[in-house]
Amino acid sequence: MKEILVKAPATTANLGPGFDVFGMALEHPSDKVRITLIPKGLEIKVHGPAKGEIPTDPERNTAGVVAKEVLKAFSLGTGLRIEIEKGILPGVGLGSSAASAAAVAFGLNVLFNLEMDRKDLTRMAMKGEVVSAGFEHADNVSAAIYGGFVIVKSYRPLEIIHLEHPKNLHVAVAIPKVPVPPKKTMKARSVLPKEVPMRKLVHNVGHAAALAAGFAIGDVDLIGRSMLDVVVEPARASLVPGYREVREKALEAGACGVALSGAGPSMIAVVNALEVDASKVAEAMREGFESAGLSAEAFCTRPGRGVHVLEENP
Ligand code: HSE
More confident residue, 55 or 139: 139
Query: Is 157 in the same domain as 137?
Result: yes
pLDDT reported for residue 44: 96
At 241-277, the pLDDT tens digits run 999 999 999 999 999 999 999 999 999 999 999 999 9
At 126-182, the pLDDT tens digits run 998 888 778 889 999 999 999 999 999 999 999 999 999 999 999 999 999 998 888
Whole-number mean pLDDT of the chain? Answer: 95
Query: Is 173 in the same domain as 158?
Result: no
Residue 19 has pLDDT above 90, yes or no: yes
Q: What is the DSSP string of the chain?
A: --EEEEEEEEEEE-TTT-TTTEEEEEEEEEEEEEEEEESS-EEEEEESTTGGGS--STTTSHHHHHHHHHHHHTT---EEEEEEE--SPTTSSS-HHHHHHHHHHHHHHHHTT----HHHHHHHHHHHHHHHHSS---HHHHHHHHBSEEEEEETTTTEEEEE---TTEEEEEEEE--PPPTTHHHHHHHTS-SS--HHHHHHHHHHHHHHHHHHHHT-HHHHHHT---SSHHHHHGGGSTTHHHHHHHHHHTT-SEEEE-TTSS-EEEEEETTTS-HHHHHHHHHHHHHHTT--EEEEEE-B-B--EEEEEE-
pLDDT reported for residue 134: 80
- State the residue range of the domain holding 93: 3-164
User: Is 275 one of the annotated active-site residues of the chain?
Assistant: no
Query: Is 134 in the same domain as 176?
Result: no
Query: Is 156 in the same domain as 174?
Result: no
- Ligand 1 lined by 140 (C-beta under 6 Å): yes
Of these residues, 185, 245, 283, 290, which one is catalytic? 185
Of these residues, 3, 69, 129, 287, which one is catalytic? 129
- Ligand 1 lined by 283 (C-beta under 6 Å): no
Among 113, 143, 164, give the residue marking a domain's end.
Answer: 164
User: Is 185 one of the annotated active-site residues of the chain?
Assistant: yes
Query: Is 59 in the same domain as 139?
Result: yes
The reply to whether 75 falls in a domain is yes
At 193-232, the pLDDT tens digits run 999 999 999 999 999 999 999 999 999 999 999 999 999 9
Among 164, 187, 208, give the residue marking a domain's end.
Answer: 164
Q: Which CATH number belongs to the domain containing residue 128 in this structure?
A: 3.30.230.10
Query: Is 215 in the same domain as 97?
Result: no
Query: Is 110 in the same domain as 253?
Result: no
pLDDT reported for residue 290: 97
The reply to whether 296 falls in a domain is yes
Nearest CA to ligand 1 atom 6: 263
Nearest CA to ligand 1 atom 8: 262
At 72-123, the pLDDT tens digits run 999 999 999 999 999 999 999 999 999 999 999 999 999 999 999 999 999 9
Query: Is 262 in the same domain as 296?
Result: yes
The number of the ligand 1 atom at minimal distance from the alpha carbon of 232 is 5
